[in-house]
A and B are shown apart, each in its own frame.
Chain A
Amino acid sequence: MRLVRLWPENSHFDFMRFRRVSFPLSAVISILTAVMLLTGGLNFGIDFRGGTLMEIQSKSGQADVAEIRRTAEGFGFGEVEVQEFGTAGEVSLRFAIQPGGEAAQAGVVQKARDTFSPNYEFRRVETVGPRVSGELVQSGTIGVVLSVIAVLFYLWFRFERELAVASIIGTLHDIVLTIGFFVITRHEFNMTSIAAILTIVGYSLNETVVVFDRTRELMRRYKTMPAEELLNLSINHTMSRTIMTGTTTALSLLALVLFGGPAIQGFAQVMLYGVVICTYSAICISTPMLIYIGLRGSEAVKVPESRAAAAE
């Protein structure tokens, strides 16, 4: 039986060359994300924005979205986002947070239930008051920051300082680009998105750590090899594993995107994108970053400089 091979054995590909493209590219995308985040912002779900979300399904299988919108806007609870989704007859309604504090939110649900329940089944109702949404924003932010710090400490403890710094840069890069995905696609940003970002943080480091484990091993074996060559070798050695794991992870996420249902699709899409980004950043961002940060403590200053001189 002929087995599949996604990456040739004994490759000697010059990955470090990519940095001339990948560094400026990632920098531009990151800046673009920051600009768009400041101007447009994220499409916050009710977890973070507060308000009421309802998913209703027509009992007849046919939903009149225009009619629903007209009726819902007539409630006097401000603007209503009405969207058809999923299989026939499913409609989601999103009401903004109502002025008047926590107690004011309950009226929205009651009114909608009274109006729509004869013809529609209520599949999901979520109301998040202003205080809870504020706290969710806080804990989400703390979660992301804390995970970066915790992982930094772990890496510091397990690896040399230079490697730790390079992997953190890669991870931050992945977080920024993931947020960019949310900004550009207008995907709803909610508590599940925070879960996706944290998982991406884990995956991103996983990718980098595998390469750096090898880098460290090669550093001990080839004490005088120049940084660029050493890093190229590390990636070439681990490339078949990177591709394999990326593929299996992507395959399972693809199953989730295709069959997981609307409630989990968003999460799966973000994760699928994240896997691609993490693989890219491990190869094209964090590893080549070591050329600039330096690889071997005190020697590090000398090695890249002499290489740079040789290149010129």
Chain B
Amino acid sequence: MLRFSKSKIIATAAVIVIGLLLAVPSMMSREQRQAYLNAIPGWVPSWLVPSRAIVLGLDLQGGSHVLLEVDNQDLLRGQITLLRDDVRRILRDTRVSSQNGIQTIQRGVQIRVPDAADRDRLLPRLRELSQPTGNAMLGQTGANTIDINTTPDGAITLTYTEAGINERVRRAVDQSIEVIRRRVDSTGTTEPSIQRQGADRVLVQVPGLQDPQQLKALLGETGNLEFRLLAQQGATDVDLLPMDDQGGQRVPVERRVIAEGGDLTDAQPAFDTQTNQPIVNFRFNIRGAQRFGQATTENLGRQLAIVLDNRVISAPTIQSPITGGSGQISGSFTVEQVNNLAVLLRSGALPAKLTIVEERTVGPGLGRDSIEAGKMATYVAAIFVIIFMFATYGLFGLFANIALLVHVGLIFGLMSVLEATLTLPGIAGIVLTIGTAVDSNVLIYERIREEVRAGRSIVSGIQAGFDRAFATIVDSNSTMAIAAVILFFLGSGPVRGFAVVFILGILTTVLTAVTLTRMMIALWYHWMRPKALPF
């Protein structure tokens, strides 16, 4: 009846001890953890040593959470420009002319070729532009990136399909993550987390960052760098771009691009040896060096335009041909500006503009206060519940309290193994769990009391109490679990931390409140042979 085999006792004890040991690294500070890991002799296999720890959420350790969104409109504009260039090239290659040039329409371009023979020559080439979406590894979706439609009067429209745009957005997010990682890493911030969120978003979390202004400045620039020439008077193919040096006044710049940011191999902040002004030194790859060398030789004495994100940031005069492939950007920069500029140039251009759609920053002071308050609330809740359980159930209450402490320890152990994030709502979850975890014990004890009152012996009463209460425990925990799982999938950040704690709490309560309590009661019965229930 109320018997536990030795092996079962050992197994239960082992699971609990291991679970609690797993929580140990989380109880240490970072330095202590490092010291303890160093102190472990080398012959101990690393998987035997609990080393994983709970991660504190940004709301507890302080830091910045910035959610960025790829600007779809900006991306589409860029894609349409590319499509225009492709169509223009094909028209030139096939020697077909469009009646009214290449018109930009909402999601693509339109040309008008009334001659049927011309169209027949043109269309196969245009169709080459459209590629199937999806990639070779994951299988293709069957949709194409571009729709090509013709009307009887000779209008040909090329429009990006929904699938084509989505795929571009997806790729843009992947590229952006890489670029952001390089940019954030080179600012020297510790342990940034950069991940995709949803279809078109990137979540950047930087622990310890107090003022995300610099981060935002870095992320706000697309980092698209071009070397062009300032236009001479009378030139026609020009853009009017604002010039930083002259307070944003617009200057004419030739459309022709000599070299691009993609041609750079390196960019470093430095100081000019003569003026002591902050500058950026850069170096080109072979292709860039050649083109740059040629252009500077041909245009000696003219002004170069260094264009970043459609702003002229510097317009130095070409004093001598630069054929060695390296040069410098000078202007009226501050030290911070050249640092940022060098980072931008090194990490390459973002495929599209990113917009900040959500930002949450918690200062370290608030985080520390929250941890303190959370600890306090946890201790007080535990003391309240422990006293109350003991006062109500006596010795059995003590068993329940031991189970409760193990339960909380196991939640920490599981969270450590999963390297789960503990947030402030997560702490609230732990406190709440302290209150609800004893529910299973209460269900069992009340049932035992009832069975014994109904005339059963202690042993059979205890047995029946556990058996009959078990179905109820499963039902009541399942309903809680359903709500918690939904919260996990829908919530984000702090709220998700609450769901994690709650789900783990429900899982461990079965082990502690049922198995562990039952074991303690069985051992107690075998040692004491009681004649009556202690409550």
A residues whose Cβ falls under 8 Å from a Cβ of B: 1, 3-6, 9-10, 55, 57, 101-103, 105-106, 109-110, 113, 121-129, 131-132, 139-140, 142-143, 146-147, 150-151, 154-155, 158, 191-192, 194-195, 198-199, 201-203, 205-206, 209-210, 213-214, 217, 237-238, 240-241, 244-245, 247-256, 258-261, 263-264, 267-268, 271
Contacts and interface: CB of A to CB of B under 8 A. Distances in A.
B483 A202 contact: yes
Contact of A150 (B366, B439, B446, B486): B486
A53 to B, nearest CB: 9
Given A109-B359, A129-B356, A206 B374 contact: no
B435 interface: yes
Given A103-B355, A248-B388, 4 more contacts: A202-B480, A253-B381, A255-B380, A260-B428
A5 B432 contact: no
Contacts of A244: 392, 442, 446
B146 interface: no
B494 A143 contact: no
Contacts of A253: 381, 431-432, 435
Contact of A195 (B59, B446, B491): B491
Nearest to B371: A261
A106 B216 contact: yes
Nearest to A103: B355
Given A4-B391, A9-B453, A267-B425, A199 B502 contact: yes
Contacts of B366: 55, 123-124, 263
A192 B428 CA distance: 11
Contact of B491 (A57, A191, A264): A191
Given A191-B491, A255-B377, A256-B377, A267 B428 contact: yes
Contacts of B394: 1, 3
B432 A256 contact: yes
B361 interface: yes
A29 B211 CA distance: 46
Contacts of A147: 482-483, 486-487
B61 to A, nearest CB: 13
A260 B374 contact: yes
Given A240-B446, A268-B428, A121 B365 contact: yes
B363 A122 contact: yes
Given A158-B475, A202-B479, A251-B388, A131 B535 contact: no
Given A143-B486, A192-B425, A241-B446, A5 B356 contact: no
Contacts of A209: 472, 475-476, 479
Nearest to A122: B363
Interface in B188-225: 210-211, 213, 216
B490 A140 contact: yes
6 contacts: A123-B363, A143-B491, A194-B490, A258-B377, A261-B374, A267-B425
Contacts of B393: 3
A175 to B, nearest CB: 11
B432 A102 contact: no
B434 interface: yes
B138 interface: no
Nearest to B477: A206
Interface string B385-411: 100110111100000000000000000
Interface string B408-435: 0000000000000000110110011011
A252 B435 contact: yes
Contacts of A142: 490
Interface residues of B, number: 77
Nearest to A237: B450
B237 interface: no
A88 to B, nearest CB: 14
A247 B69 CA distance: 47
A143 B216 contact: no
A251 B404 CA distance: 15
Nearest to B534: A3
B3 interface: no
B494 A192 contact: yes
The interface residues of chain A, by DSSP majority, are classed as helix
B111 interface: no
B40 interface: no
Interface in B434-485: 434-436, 438-439, 442-443, 446, 449-450, 453, 468, 471-472, 475-484
Contacts of B535: 3
A248 B381 CA distance: 9
A256 B424 CA distance: 11
B341 interface: no
A142 B471 CA distance: 30
Given A210-B476, A251-B388, A121 B431 contact: no
Given A125-B361, A127-B359, A245-B442, A113 B431 contact: no
A205 B479 contact: yes
Contact of B358 (A127, A201, A245, A264): A127
A9 B453 CA distance: 10
B425 A264 contact: yes
A251 B384 contact: yes
Contacts of B86: none
B357 interface: yes
Q: Which 5 A-B pairs have the closest CB atoms?
A: A261-B373, A252-B435, A202-B483, A249-B435, A255-B381
Given A113-B211, A244-B442, A129 B357 contact: yes
Contact of B431 (A57, A203, A260): A260
A252 B432 contact: yes
A202 to B, nearest CB: 4
Determine which residue in A102, A126, A146, A244 has the highest number of CB atoms from chain B within 10 A of its CB, and name it. Answer: A244
Given A3-B393, A129-B356, A256-B377, A248 B480 contact: no
B516 interface: no
Given A3-B394, A151-B479, A154-B482, A124 B361 contact: yes
A206 B370 contact: no
B213 A252 contact: no
A253 to B, nearest CB: 7
A244 B384 CA distance: 13
Of B450, B472, B479, which is in contact with the most chain A CB atoms at under 10 Å from its CB?
A: B479
B432 A139 contact: no
B75 to A, nearest CB: 15
A264 B427 contact: yes
